[in-house]
Amino acid sequence: MRRSPSLLPLLVRGALRSPFKRPSATADFPRTRLVLPGLRVDLARLAAYERVCGFATGEDALPVTYPHVLGFPLAMSLMSGRDFPLPLLGLVHTSVEITRHRELTASGAYELTVYVDGLAPHRRGTEASVVTELRVGEDVVWESVSTYLARHRTTETGAQRDRGRDQERHGPLPAVAEWRLAGDIGRRYAAASGDRNPIHLYPLTARLFGFRKAIAHGMWTAARCLAAHGTPPAVRVLAEFRAPVLLPGTVTYAADGERFELCDGERVHVTGGVYPPGGPASAGAAS
């Protein structure tokens, strides 16, 4: 692959193919590894991303979540393909695990690899795991696993991969800040990230998919929390997206030590943690 694909045609392609997909945890999935060598960061787009997510601007460093943005078009290319068994429409980003092995410069050149790692049963349907890797030479300097859920009727029970239900619970975390979220956050993040899923843009387009308002991107909520929490150069980040954040709205950022949450009253939207590399192995461990 010589350059990153445009997201809008992939979204359209995936939408048109969605009605013909028959999701199942036992279905075959693409084994293709998409590789984009010689990748360089668009600094203007990076600055827009940093502003909308709350990261410091003007530094020669990539925010810990930014490689996800770089890899997302390749992930979409796989998930909108004919051989990907889950429908792109309605696919829900349920969790992300990120390991950054060292600080990444914004001015560097990287090799990007994205592939589907497998399917797993979930009590609400089928989940796909998508791996993104960033390399400098032969060294993996950043890697992530994102899980995406396709909801459908299933005979699976809560004993399957429903992270957070079988994990040790903790009490509410202490509130740190209250954030008032503007109605255009989804559009601003879409402009910076390229992810223009209609559920994030306007109330009207969100209603087409069952939401009464536009909802914030899951990766924006994770990035906003991590910008507030801070991350060391070598770090493992876990985040689980539990409930949509409606826009506009008001949410509470809460944190205690390694853990963080984004809440609205007793409803938890995002839960996660910031750990040394080799920390907890799944997003559910942060719940």
Closest CA to 89 of 150, 147, 130: 150
Q: When comparing pLDDT for 208 and 118, which is higher?
A: 118
Looking at residues 7-33, what average pLDDT do you find?
Answer: 93
Written as six digits, the tokens of 175 are 């509130």
pLDDT > 90 in the chain, percent: 78
The number of C-alpha atoms within 13 Å of 241 and in the hemisphere containing its C-beta is 22
203-262 pLDDT, tens digit per residue, is 998 998 888 999 999 999 999 999 999 999 999 999 999 999 999 999 999 999 999 999
pTM: 0.90
- CA 83, 86, 87, 89: dihedral to nearest 10 degrees? -130
The DSSP code sequence of 140-168 is: EEEEEEEEEEEE------TTSS-TTSSSP
Long-range contacts, 205-211 (Cβ 8 Å, 24+): 209/89, 209/90, 211/244, 211/246
145-178 pLDDT, tens digit per residue, is 999 999 888 775 543 444 443 334 567 899 999 9
